[in-house]
Structure 1
Amino acid sequence: MYSTWYTFHQQLTHEGIEEQCSLAKASGCNAVIVDDGWQTSDNARGYAYCGDWLVCGEKIPDMKAHVERVHALGMKYLLWYSFPFVGRNSESWVKYQDKLLFTMDDLAAGVLDPRYPDVREYLIGIYEKALLDWDLDGFKLDFVDMFRQPDNDNAEEDDGHDYLSVAQAVDVLLSEVMKRLRAIKPDIMIEFRQNYISPLMRKYGNIFRAADCPNDAIQNRIRTIDIRLICGKTAAHSDMIMWNSDEPADSAALQLINVLFSVPQISVRLDTLPESHMEMLTFWLAFWREHRDVLLHGSLEPHHPELLYPLVIARNSNGLIAAVYQDTIVRLEGLEPAKVVIVNGTRGDRIAFEAMEQMGTRNVRVISCTGKTVAEYSMEETRGLQVIDVPPGGLVVLRQIG
């Protein structure tokens, strides 16, 4: 996926979104998440203008036509909403200011109380209307974790609430959101952020994303692997990936390599990247797409959580992919598949593996971070400890011969 958040923050334009979508599609992305900013001309952050969810005409004059143009590129379109917030500068504030769990003066907004039936219907109606009017493909529902039982709560059912428990009301709200949106579009995508995910949340959404960690490849690795360990078949997504266009391409590649075992979300200005970075991005997204049956659906083996997962392996009957994130030895046990890939997720220039059994004669192909073959030869003795020169951000493919 491509995300507009780190690319634009709130300073969105329909031209800018469409330009990045065109470049993202060519690089290997199939969907875009348009984040905060589409609903307001104010770019000062905060949530004072949330609640009405009307498109800012200065930024996107015709939302339906804009979504159609993105669809024409071959991209799905997801839209961000701060799920529980209603801002002080919105017209909805007047209607719902007495139906809030609490207010947040620093954000100029309040959190709606889902124990009121009309509040739930108001929220569900917003998403239904957007889906029908603009033909969206999904929603990024943010800040669900802000629904909290108030301290010293004095709610009673006869004051308009039909539930006393906020958690129970949220369960009803989210269940109804999914039911009604799926009735319109069965494959609707709903993204939740890591702060409010758990195995239980799988019944409400189908995308779990790592919490924000911009330009922090290590945290992105930890968070995506943590999600994989609890999410079952729900899609696990990385936080939006960004990097400095002035850094070497093999350094920037680590941002992608660290989230190989999740769905990458890209959030950089693709039109400003040097050629080597675009080659790197296109190569690694192509690698991910080619091998996602192993990376996402194979048996996942994250090693040493106490060391922040320095080695992660995924395998199925078709292949094995190991990614090393520090100078460590990849232990290969038993009869390995015909294709073994070891990814160098370090700034060093070698990888080491130990084959506990003879893997047969292997063709060895070493590939750089931009997809160029830098060495190719055959290896007859594959049992025991082997060290192979692999450039930073690159990989080696060990393919069985015969």
Structure 2
Amino acid sequence: MSSDEFTLNHLWTPGDPAVDWERVATAHDLDLNARVFASAGVDVSARRDDRGNVALTVMAAGTVALAIVVSAGDSTAWWSPADALGHMSIPALWGGRREVSAFGGVASGALISRGDRARMAFRLDSGHLPVVVRAGIIEETAEFAVLLTVRGTGRLELRVDASERHWTEAISSVGPPVAIAALGAEEPVYCTWYAAHQDLDQEDLLAQVRIAGELGMGTLIVDDGWQTSERGRGYRSAGDWIVSRNKFPDPARFVEETAQAGLQTMWWISTPFLGFDAIAHADDLATIDTDEALGTSVLDPRDETVRSSLVSRLRSLLATTGAVGFKLDFLERWDSQDASIPEAALSLLAEIAEMVDEVAGTGLIEYRDPYIGYPTTRSASMIRVGDCPLRPAQNRAGIVDLRLTAPGVPVHSDPVMWSPDDSVGRVAQHLQNALFGVPQISLRLTDLSEPHRAVLAFWLGFWRQHRDIILHGDFRPQRPDLQYPIVGAERDGTRLVGRFAPVPIDLSGAWETCHVLNADDAAVVLDVPDRLRVRATVRDARGDLISEVDADWSGLVRMQIPTGGLLTVERRSVAA
């Protein structure tokens, strides 16, 4: 029995039909340190793309299965954007199943080995067609396999990198083209959701907005609640997209005064929903589903009347209020085994994006995880980590994963919140975990204590000062198997290092200034490979100066940095 036959005989995936495999790419024919197979009879062409990857074009008709097999030697983790806290293990093939769709994740992943190298990285672009992804260890051979099953008709593009380069470079090499950030999409956001839910009021919100402007935020997202006189939960009023005059007596004046405070305004939209109590419900619009618990139907994006009605209502909302865009929510409700529904929804979203740009100039549209695939994010100005209130580690991991998944699209944190009883160090930790994306904030700013406001002001100011480095510098998260204990960015001689666990920080390289954000409680250990003469400045969580010393460093240097504090190291010279 050949090695291929032995491996393929052990691709055991319970509940899946057997596949008659054919090998389509190997080390022999495309200099690839992996083997790629396709179901027999599939129209496949293999080539090297301009990034050095093996690229397979598949014309799908019916059911198509693809497999990638690579040695699991020295492997430490399986990275996938499907789970921001799931990179700490390598699954078994028989258990590692997930479904990817136009509005649910990305068919992408990387097998990480020692030294943060990728033994293999892949990405499958299937357009609007859903993909079943199985990834895990073949226990009989100690190999790692990725199995991809697509049902439908369309063009598939599979890219595989097995060059064993740094894992972030490998993911980038198989990823989509780098997007160009929309004007205004990289501004810190004040979001109303956690702060108020549906309990909104025009004058009270303007009070929050004025403080947000003073703190350096540049965008306001008015989340769920502006469209209804209710102050609880539910979506019975969704679909009219008319501002409730009970809460916002003069929405145009509200947007104008928000702009005077320095913030642009975006309205939240539960895009597919048509609530049972909405005026538009009487228009007998076509729907595909009903959710009794939420009090809403789900609009059919294939219907021309539905499309024109929704676009018209959103156009009117922008034109009458002066807002710049929307947070489009609940897009996953347009996922369906009927491929015509997500296909139509993607087209509708592109139409909405075009309308927003037409009305608002360069308009803004926010999506959130899990609708993060390339066909979807092409119409987004920004994407946001999924809801994770008071879970800073998940926020950090989500930011890293989304930045690698959708390069160039500004990635926003889930809105940061904290308890009034938190220490200043803990408040800073919440913020530091959000600072490698665009930070969003959601809590009542008028109720902040003076110490908490000082922490927020310092770290938002630090982020604005270093925004270009954070968002556009060399981005290097480390050790996905340990949930990114170190996240770094570097540009033009300035290095930023977020330290989120008690691990040493490597100070090698040609940096001139290095900022260490200490989001851990333990002492900071710096690994200095050469003898350096430095000036070291320590600030606490509020930015207050603790110490500033000139020193000669070499080897391991231990520093006491307050929790949530900042160490700034300026290189003076190489010590004698």
Report the equivalent of 1:354: 527
Residues 218-270 of structure 1 deviation map (CA, whole Å, 9 limit, x = unaligned): 11111111111112111100001110111111111111000110011111111
Unaligned segments of structure 1, at least 5 residues:
154-163
- Which among 205, 222, 233 is matched to residue 34 of structure 1? 222
SS of the equivalent of 1:229 reads: helix
SS at match of 1:241: coil
In 2: Cα distance, 1:113 partner to 1:166 partner: 7
- Partners of 1:145 and 1:30 in 2: how far apart? 28
Partner of 1:246: 421
Higher helix proportion: 1
TM-score (norm 2): 0.65
Counterpart contact for 1:101–1:148, Cα < 8 Å: no
- From 563, 573, 576, give the equivalent of 1:392: 563
Alignment of 1:115 onto 2:288: no
What is the deviation of 1:205?
Answer: 0.6
User: Where do 4+ consecutive residues of structure 1 move more than 3 Å?
Assistant: none
- Name 1:182's counterpart in structure 2: 357
Is the Cα–Cα contact under 8 Å of residues 192 and 207 in structure 1 kept in the other structure?
Answer: yes
Is this contact kept in 2: 1:257–1:393, CA < 8 A? yes
Asked if 1:62 corresponds to 2:245, the answer is no
Q: What's the offset of the Cα at 1:121?
A: 1.1
By how many angstroms is 1:299 displaced?
A: 0.9
CA distance in 2, matches of 1:291, 1:169: 40
| C-alpha contact (below 8 Å) 2:498/2:517 kept by paired residues | yes
Paired residue for 2:279?
A: 91
Question: Matches of residues 85-234 of structure 1 in structure 2 within 5 Å?
Answer: 85-96=273-284, 99-149=286-336, 165-234=340-409
Give the whole-Å Cα distance in 1 for the aligned partners of 2:551 and 2:298.
Answer: 62
- Counterpart residue identity of residue 125, structure 1: S
Larger Rg, first or second structure (1 or 2) = 2
Letter in 2 for 1:148: D
Q: Look up the equivalent residue of 1:354 and give its one-letter code.
A: D
Equivalent residue for 1:78? 266
RMSD: 1.4
SS in 1 for 2:370: helix
In the TM superposition, what are the counterparts of 1:295-310 in structure 2 within 5 Å? 295-310=470-485
Change (3 A) 1:204 1:96: farther
Deviations 1:103-125 (A, max 9, x none): 00110101100011111111111
The one-letter code sitting in structure 2 at the alignment partner of 1:113 is D
* Bigger strand share: 2
What residue is the counterpart of 1:365 in the other structure?
A: 537
Question: Where do residues 286-301 of structure 1 align in structure 2 (5 Å cutoff)?
Answer: 286-301=461-476
Instruction: Give the gaps of 5 or more residues in structure 2.
Output: 1-188
Aligned length: 385
Quote how far apart the aligned CAs of 1:48 are.
0.5
Task: Note the C-alpha offset of 1:5.
Answer: 0.7
Q: Which amino acid aligns with 1:385?
A: L
Q: CA deviation at 1:198?
A: 2.0
Shift in Å, 1:351: 0.9
Mapped partners of 2:247, 2:359: distance in 1: 27
* Distance in 2 between residues matched to 1:243 and 1:96, nearest whole Å: 44
Structure 1 equivalent of residue 487 of structure 2: 312
Query: Secondary structure at 2:496's aligned position in 1?
Result: strand
Secondary structure at the aligned position of 2:398 is classed as: helix
How many percent identity over aligned positions? 34
For 2:336 and 2:377, how far apart are their aligned partners in 1? 22
Alpha-carbon contact 1:341-1:397 (below 8 Å) kept: yes
Name the residue aligned to 1:3.
Answer: 191
Match of 1:158 in 2: none
Per-residue deviation, 1:49: 0.7
Partner of 1:157: none
